[in-house]
Structure 1
Amino acid sequence: MKRLGIENGALDAVDARIVALLADNARIPTAELARSVGLSAPSVAERLRRLEDSGVIEGYMARIAPAAIGYPVSAWLRVRPVPGELKRVAEIIRSIPEITECDRITGEDCFLARVRVASVADLERLLDQLVPYAMTNTAIVQSSPVLPRLPPLAPAA
């Protein structure tokens, strides 16, 4: 069943353009979106509502520069809980606000987490919370040549 141009995760060309524009600027006014896709503002507002209702658009947010708010050190942590401590480690990870994203992954490690901290000393204190229950491998980020972005939005054929 095709709904709003969304079928099996595919977007029609107009919805794909709307999503791409919002990914670039979540604050773009509906009227400007409408001009960019060649529709009326009410039509775009309805498409936005349907994209939200269908779960394509999960929310709107600003991209904040962590260094500008006092968190210049970024690192990726690979975390391997010791046997029997998976749930505890997941709870610890959830409780640490400096862990800004985390995925449970396949392979030798169970979690891959992004950390934003003010200093290497703060990173060490963070790691100390995990060490009794997990082994960690840390990679400090030098630069980010690709910022978070959407995968290609190929419209439905």
Structure 2
Amino acid sequence: MDKMDRDILKLLQENARMTISELSKELALSRPSMSERLLRLQEKGIIEHFTTRVSLKKIGKDILLLIQVSGLKVPVAEFEEMVRQEHDIIECHRVTGEVSYFIKAAVSDVGSMRKLIDRLIPYGTINTSTVLNSPVPYRIILPDEEGYE
């Protein structure tokens, strides 16, 4: 990867709907060269997919939760299948240490939060935190600058 690839990644993370023409204009690169670079970034798996960020509040998911699961009472595969099916769960990460999983979930109200926690309790020890605010709700991710051509 070079500086141009890094710049492409930054622009696409700011706005994934940028067209090849817009990217080409912004970075002063021909459209065929831009298309080739994008294809290469996708083939290497650096760009996994294009997506849309949705405002949780605007779709009625006013409560953001961070849930720790420890002391798993069921096999890992069973727990992971359950969380894949749970529509309120946004992310789930298996981790090392005392806690087995960190879950990020979004619910509409306290009643929905209680129901989600009740559904999780049979699987292990649950520790839930409510997010008050997010000083870094999303960050553009770029590779380190060292080693660029």
Same topology, TM > 0.5: yes
Tell me, in whole angstroms, the C-alpha distance in 1 between the residues paired with 2:100 and 2:60.
29
Structure 1 unaligned runs (5+)? 1-10
AA aligned opposite 2:82: I
| Alignment equivalent of 1:128, drawn from 105, 118, 132 | 118
1:82 Cα offset (Å): 3.1
Aligned match of 1:60 = 50
User: Are 2:92 and 2:101, in contact at CA under 8 Å, matched by a contact in 1?
Assistant: yes
Tell me, in whole angstroms, the C-alpha distance in 2 between the residues paired with 1:85 and 1:120.
29
Q: 1:82 to 1:103 in 2, by over 3 A?
A: closer
Aligned match of 1:89 = 79
Tell me the number of residue pairs that the alignment of Structure 1 and Structure 2 aligns: 147
User: What's the TM-score once normalised by structure 2's chain length?
Assistant: 0.92
1:83 Cα offset (Å): 4.5
Tell me, in whole angstroms, the C-alpha distance in 2 between the residues paired with 1:29 and 1:133.
45
User: Are 1:104 and 1:112, in contact at CA under 8 Å, matched by a contact in 2?
Assistant: yes
1:87 Cα offset (Å): 2.7
Aligned match of 2:37 = 47
User: Are 1:51 and 1:57, in contact at CA under 8 Å, matched by a contact in 2?
Assistant: yes
Structure 1 residues 1-49: Cα deviation after superposition (integer angstroms, max 9, x where no partner): xxxxxxxxxx210000000000000001111111222210111011101
Q: Kindly, what percent of the aligned residue pairs are identical?
A: 33
Find out whether 1:38 has 2:43 as its counterpart: no
SS in 2 for 1:97: coil
1:98 Cα offset (Å): 0.7
User: Are 1:74 and 1:140, in contact at CA under 8 Å, matched by a contact in 2?
Assistant: yes
SS in 2 for 1:151: coil
Paired residues for 1:1-157 under 5 Å: 11-155=1-145, 156-157=147-148
Structure 2 unaligned runs (5+)? none
User: Are 1:73 and 1:141, in contact at CA under 8 Å, matched by a contact in 2?
Assistant: yes
Tell me, in whole angstroms, the C-alpha distance in 2 between the residues paired with 1:107 and 1:149.
26
Structure 1 residues 31-86: Cα deviation after superposition (integer angstroms, max 9, x where no partner): 11112222101110111011111100011111110110111110100011435543
User: Are 2:9 and 2:142, in contact at CA under 8 Å, matched by a contact in 1?
Assistant: no
